[in-house]
Amino acid sequence: MQQWRQSGQSAAEYAQAHDLDAGTLAAWASRLKKEIGGDGVRRSKPKPAFLAVQLRQFRAPAVAVEGTFEVVLANGRCVRVSGEFDAERVSRLLAAVEGGSR
């Protein structure tokens, strides 16, 4: 870009003299003008910030549930629960059954 600008030639003239595509040359010039600007200061996107994250295992509240439930899992298995049961234990049971092979 700098050599082209210093040449004083149009994009078409410079491109032809250097076996380049004039459209590509003009596109890059436009892109660089947006990124750098007329004052020569680079206007790049801010770098992403990385934050430390601590993952915790989700635990369903220990709530006793009463009733009859039937759950059909994605792998085709069916789990029926009736009477009073602990939601956390059923959640762990479903996760184990869902991950198992047929």
Alpha-carbon gap, residue 13 to 20, rounded angstroms = 10
* Residue 52 forms part of a structural domain: no
* Strand boundaries in 1-102, DSSP class E: 64-72, 78-86
* Residue 51 forms part of a structural domain: no
Burial status of residue 9 (CB atoms within 10 A of its CB: 0-12, 13-18, 19 or more) = middle
* Residue 57 forms part of a structural domain: no
pLDDT value at residue 63:
61
* Residue 55 forms part of a structural domain: no
How confident is the chain (102 residues) per 10-residue block, as mean pLDDT? 86 88 87 70 66 70 70 80 80 78 48
Query: What is this structure's pTM?
Result: 0.36
* Residue 22 forms part of a structural domain: yes
* Residue 68 forms part of a structural domain: yes
Q: How many domains does the chain have?
A: 2
Bridge partners (DSSP) of residue 64 are 86
Can you read off the two tokens belonging to residue 56? Answer: 């915790």
Its domain, for residue 19, covers 2-36
* Residue 9 forms part of a structural domain: yes
Burial status of residue 50 (CB atoms within 10 A of its CB: 0-12, 13-18, 19 or more) = exposed
